Structure 1
Amino acid sequence: MFPWYQLALLALIPMTLGVNPGVKVRLTEKGIEYGRQIGMAFLQQKLKTIKVPDISGTERVAPIGKVQYSLSRMVIVNLGLPESALGLVPGSGVNLSIQKAFISLHGNWKVKYLRIIKNSGSFDLEVNGLTITTAISIKSDDVGRPAVSSVNCVSIIGSLDIKFHSGTSWLYNLFSEFIDKALRDLLQKQICHLLADAISELNLHLKTLNVLAPVDKYAEIEYSMVSSPAVSKSSIDLNLKGEFYRIGQHQEPPFSAMRFSLPPQVNNMLYAGVSAFTANSAGFVYNRAGAISLYITDDMIPPSSPIRLNTRTFGAFIPEIAKRFPALMMKLLAKTVKDPIITFEPNNVTLQATGTVTAYAIQLNATLSPLFVLNMEASVSAQVYVTGTKLAGDVTLNKMGMTLETSYVGDFEVRFLDSIFSMILKVAVIPMVNAHLEKGYPLPSLGKMSLVNTKLQILKGYVLVGTDLQFRG
Structure 2
Amino acid sequence: MLVMSSCLLFLLGPLVSSFMAAAQPAGCKIRITDKGLEMLKAETGKFVEEEISNISMPEMMGKEGRFQYTITDVKINDLNLTYVELQFVPDVGLLFDVQDSSISLSFHRKILYWFFYDTGNINASAEGVNINTVLNLIRDEEGRLKINNISCDAKITNMKAEFSGTLGKVYDFMAGFLTSGMRFILNQQICPALNHAALVHVNSLLETIPVRTEVDSYIGIDYSLIEDPVVTSRSLDMHFRGMFFDLSDPNSTLENLAVEPVITDYDRMVYLALSEFFFDSGMFSYYKAGVFQTHIVNEKMSRDMEMLLRTTYFGVIMMLNPGLADAPLSLQIAVNSPPKTTIKTTGATVVMTAIVKVMLLPPGQAPFQLSSMTMETKFNAKVSIRGKRLAIHADLRRFKIFSNLSALESLALIPLQAPLKAILQMSVVPLINNWTKKGVRIPLADGIDFVEEVVEYHNGFIVIGANLHFTKGLREMMEGGEQEQTDTV
Shorter-chain TM-score range: 0.7 to 0.9
**1-structure distance, mates of 2:181, 2:287:** 69
Equivalent position of 1:340 in the other structure? 339
Equivalent position of 2:15 in the other structure? none
User: Relative to 1, partners in 2 of residues 1:28 and 1:302: Cα closer, same or farther, differing over 3 Å?
Assistant: farther
**2-structure distance, mates of 1:317, 1:209:** 60
User: Relative to 1, partners in 2 of residues 1:174 and 1:449: Cα closer, same or farther, differing over 3 Å?
Assistant: closer
Amino acid at match of 2:23: G
Equivalent position of 2:176 in the other structure? 177
SS in 2 for 1:308: helix
Q: List alignment gaps of at least 5 residues for structure 1.
A: 1-15
1:139 Cα deviation after fit: 4.6
Matched, 1:315 2:320: no
Q: For the Cα contact (< 8 Å) 1:149–1:196, is it kept in 2?
A: no
Equivalent position of 1:11 in the other structure? none
Q: Which moved more, 1:32-41 or 1:375-384?
A: 375-384
1:453 Cα deviation after fit: 0.5
1:259 Cα deviation after fit: 4.7
Q: Per-residue CA shift, 1:95-122, capped at 9, x if unaligned?
A: 11012221111111234567x8754432
Equivalent position of 2:74 in the other structure? 74
User: Relative to 1, partners in 2 of residues 1:152 and 1:438: Cα closer, same or farther, differing over 3 Å?
Assistant: closer
Q: Which moved more, 1:433-442 or 1:95-104?
A: 433-442
Q: For the Cα contact (< 8 Å) 1:101–1:130, is it kept in 2?
A: yes
Superposed, which structure 2 residues align to 1:200-279 within 5 Å?
A: 200-247=200-247, 249-279=249-279
TM-score (norm 2): 0.83
1:366 Cα deviation after fit: 7.6
SS in 1 for 2:306: coil
Q: For the Cα contact (< 8 Å) 1:312–1:322, is it kept in 2?
A: no
**1-structure distance, mates of 2:429, 2:307:** 17
Amino acid at match of 2:372: V
Q: Per-residue CA shift, 1:138-197, capped at 9, x if unaligned?
A: 455664433436622111113311012336357524533221210110111112222223
Superposed, which structure 2 residues align to 1:121-132 within 5 Å?
A: 121-132=120-131
User: Relative to 1, partners in 2 of residues 1:38 and 1:396: Cα closer, same or farther, differing over 3 Å?
Assistant: same
User: Relative to 1, partners in 2 of residues 1:112 and 1:146: Cα closer, same or farther, differing over 3 Å?
Assistant: farther
Q: List alignment gaps of at least 5 residues for structure 2.
A: 1-20, 473-489
User: Relative to 1, partners in 2 of residues 1:248 and 1:445: Cα closer, same or farther, differing over 3 Å?
Assistant: farther
**2-structure distance, mates of 1:40, 1:276:** 39
Q: Which moved more, 1:34-43 or 1:168-177?
A: 168-177
Equivalent position of 1:166 in the other structure? 165
Equivalent position of 1:41 in the other structure? 46
1:68 Cα deviation after fit: 4.2
Matched, 1:373 2:375: no
Amino acid at match of 1:333: Q
SS in 2 for 1:375: strand
User: Relative to 1, partners in 2 of residues 1:213 and 1:455: Cα closer, same or farther, differing over 3 Å?
Assistant: farther
User: Relative to 1, partners in 2 of residues 1:415 and 1:439: Cα closer, same or farther, differing over 3 Å?
Assistant: farther
**2-structure distance, mates of 1:90, 1:251:** 36
RMSD (Å) for aligned C-alpha atoms: 2.8
Q: Which moved more, 1:166-175 or 1:392-401?
A: 166-175
Equivalent position of 2:36 in the other structure? 31
User: Relative to 1, partners in 2 of residues 1:216 and 1:406: Cα closer, same or farther, differing over 3 Å?
Assistant: farther
Matched, 1:442 2:431: no
SS in 2 for 1:434: helix
Runs of 4+, deviation exceeding 4 Å: 116-119, 139-143, 316-324
User: Relative to 1, partners in 2 of residues 1:259 and 1:58: Cα closer, same or farther, differing over 3 Å?
Assistant: farther
**2-structure distance, mates of 1:190, 1:276:** 50
Name the % identity.
Answer: 23
**2-structure distance, mates of 1:54, 1:18:** 56
1:33 Cα deviation after fit: 0.4
Q: For the Cα contact (< 8 Å) 2:88–2:231, is it kept in 1?
A: yes
Equivalent position of 2:477 in the other structure? none
Amino acid at match of 1:414: S
Superposed, which structure 2 residues align to 1:413-428 within 5 Å?
A: 413-418=409-414, 419=417, 420-428=419-427
Superposed, which structure 2 residues align to 1:379-418 within 5 Å?
A: 379-405=378-404, 413-418=409-414
Q: Which moved more, 1:178-187 or 1:424-433?
A: 424-433
SS in 2 for 1:41: helix
Q: Per-residue CA shift, 1:203-260, capped at 9, x if unaligned?
A: 2322221223431101111111111222111111110111001225322434215453
Q: For the Cα contact (< 8 Å) 1:80–1:103, is it kept in 2?
A: yes
1:344 Cα deviation after fit: 0.7
Q: For the Cα contact (< 8 Å) 1:317–1:416, is it kept in 2?
A: no
Equivalent position of 1:104 in the other structure? 104
Q: For the Cα contact (< 8 Å) 2:263–2:273, is it kept in 1?
A: no
Q: For the Cα contact (< 8 Å) 2:109–2:121, is it kept in 1?
A: yes
User: Relative to 1, partners in 2 of residues 1:40 and 1:174: Cα closer, same or farther, differing over 3 Å?
Assistant: closer
1:307 Cα deviation after fit: 3.0
**2-structure distance, mates of 1:323, 1:426:** 33
What count of residue pairs does the alignment treat as equivalent?
Answer: 447
Q: Which moved more, 1:29-38 or 1:431-440?
A: 431-440
Q: For the Cα contact (< 8 Å) 2:139–2:229, is it kept in 1?
A: no
Matched, 1:293 2:293: yes
**2-structure distance, mates of 1:72, 1:321:** 102
Select 1:52's aligned residue among 40, 57, 71: 57
SS in 2 for 1:279: helix
1:321 Cα deviation after fit: 7.1
SS in 2 for 1:447: coil
Equivalent position of 2:86 in the other structure? 86
**1-structure distance, mates of 2:98, 2:315:** 80
Amino acid at match of 2:312: F
